[in-house]
Amino acid sequence: MKSNASHGLWDRFFMLLVEKKIPDKARPWYVRRVEELQEHFKGRKPSTLTVEELSIYFEGRSRESMEDWQFKQLVETTELFLKEVVHAPAATEFDWQYWIAASTTIPTDHATIARDHSNVGELYQARKGDLYHQVHAVFGASLDRMVELIRLRHYSIRTEQTYMSWVCRFLGGYLEHDLESIGAAQVEQFLTYLATQRNVSVSTQNLALTSLAFYFREVLQRSIADLEFARAKRPRRLPVVLSRDEVKRLLSEMEGVYHLMAGLMYGTGMRLMECVRLRVKDVDFDYHQITVRDGKGKKDRVVPLPNRFSDDLKQQLGQAKKYHREDLREGYGNVFLPDALERKYPNALREWGWQYVFPSARLSTDPRSGITRRHHLHENSLQRAIKKGATAAKLTKQVNSHALRHSFATHLLEAGQDIRTVQELLGHADVSTTMIYTHVLNRPGVMGVKSPADF
Which string of b and e fits 106-134 if b means at least 16 CB within 10 Å? bebebebbbebbeebeebbebeeeebbee
Q: Give the Cα separation of 229 and 279 in Å (integer).
A: 45
Radius of gyration of the chain (CA): 26
Q: Give the Cα separation of 18 and 361 in Å (integer).
A: 30
Neighbours of 1 (CB within 10 A): 4
Three-class SS state of 290 = strand
- Closest by alpha carbon to 400, among 411, 412, 388? 388
State the catalytic residues.
271, 296, 402, 405, 428, 437
- Closest by alpha carbon to 424, among 238, 281, 268, 305? 268
Neighbours of 298 (CB within 10 A): 10
What's the number of CA atoms in the CB half-sphere (13 Å) around residue 184?
10
